[in-house]
């Protein structure tokens, strides 16, 4: 059993938490000389029931995700990550990231934010990060947004 990671997935969705997870994943990839797989799953279940509207929205969401991954790939490469792959697909992030992507990429680590963009789904069905932790057959690092400390004392 190796203690080094070789195939790292970082789940990104444009949220602040995902951006912080990306930064940590870059650092881990550099230290381990690992491949970094930038993965964004466009959740097509949330598109409207009107077919034309749903398709237009899906294409727009995919294009936005691809643009985000181009920027992230440039940052990771500049930081010294030896290999960076970008993957944008349609589906359910809750199943595709911890199951499909792990198998496809032979991943040994998933890095994700504790919360993402979809707060309504998190309220009703649980978060993507929670599902990743429960389902993945590899290590998972769930990254939280740093808490900003204040020097003010609470009002009594």
User: Does 72 have pLDDT greater than 50?
Assistant: yes
Q: What percent of the chain has pLDDT over 90?
A: 63
Task: Kindly state the average pLDDT of the residues 30-56.
Answer: 79
Q: Does pLDDT of 50 surpass 80?
A: no
- Domain regions of the chain by residue span: 7-143
Measured in whole angstroms, the distance separating CA 47 from the mean position of its chain's CA atoms is 20
Strands 7-11 and 35-42: parallel
Look up the CATH number of domain 7-143.
Answer: 3.40.50.620
The span from the first CA to the last CA of the chain, in angstroms, equals 54
Give, in degrees to the nearest 5, the angle at Cα 126 between 142 and 19. Answer: 35
3-state secondary structure 28-84: HHHHHCCEEEEEEEECHHHCCCCHHHHHHHHHHHHHHHHHHHHHHHHHHHHHCCCEE
* 82-96, 125-139, 140-154: least confident range: 140-154
Q: What is the mean pLDDT of the chain?
A: 85
Q: What digits encode the pLDDT tens for the residues 98-137?
A: 999 999 999 999 999 986 544 544 443 348 889 999 999 9
């Amino acid at each position: 059993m190796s203690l080094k990671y070789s195939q790292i997935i970082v789940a990104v969705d444009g949220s602040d938490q995902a951006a912080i997870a990306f930064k940590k994943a870059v650092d881990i990839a550099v230290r381990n000389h690992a491949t970094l797989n930038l993965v964004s799953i466009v959740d097509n279940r949330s598109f409207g029931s009107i077919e034309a509207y749903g398709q237009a929205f899906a294409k727009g969401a995919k294009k936005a995700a691809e643009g985000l991954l181009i920027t992230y790939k440039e940052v990771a490469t500049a930081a010294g990550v030896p290999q960076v792959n970008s993957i944008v697909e349609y589906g359910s992030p809750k199943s595709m990231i911890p199951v499909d992507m792990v198998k496809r990429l032979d991943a040994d680590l998933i890095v994700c934010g504790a919360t993402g963009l979809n707060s309504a789904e998190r309220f009703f069905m649980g978060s993507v990060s929670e599902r990743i932790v429960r389902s993945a057959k590899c290590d998972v690092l769930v990254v939280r947004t740093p808490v900003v400390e204040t020097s003010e004392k609470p009002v009594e």
